[in-house]
Amino acid sequence: MDPVSIIFGLAMNFYTLSNIDFFQQRAINEKKMNCEWEYVGQTKPDPNNTSLTVFGDVYFKHNCESKKSEQDSKQ
């Protein structure tokens, strides 16, 4: 097995583990709300919100709005 593949695989596993809180919150939000990704440029993460960071910076924001109930859409 190629040593570069092993190093890359370990780095990706570490990256995923360090951002696990974001992935968990995103899954919860997707079930309850309508969510879209918005490009925000290179910014620092907000300590009060979970963020998906790339080398300590945030490039996209996960914006969510409450889902409208079926009754609201029929009116």
What are residue 52's DSSP bridge partners?
A: none
> In a 3-state reduction of DSSP, which class is residue 39?
strand
| Cα(20)–Cα(24) distance, integer angstroms | 6
| Contact assessment for residue 64 and residue 33, using Cβ atoms and an 8 Å cutoff | yes
| Assessment of whether the complete model's pTM goes beyond 0.85 | no
- For residue 11, what pLDDT is reported? 77
15-72 pLDDT, tens digit each: 666 677 777 888 888 888 888 888 988 989 888 777 777 778 888 888 888 877 654 5
Domain range for 55 is 3-74
Total domains present in the chain:
1
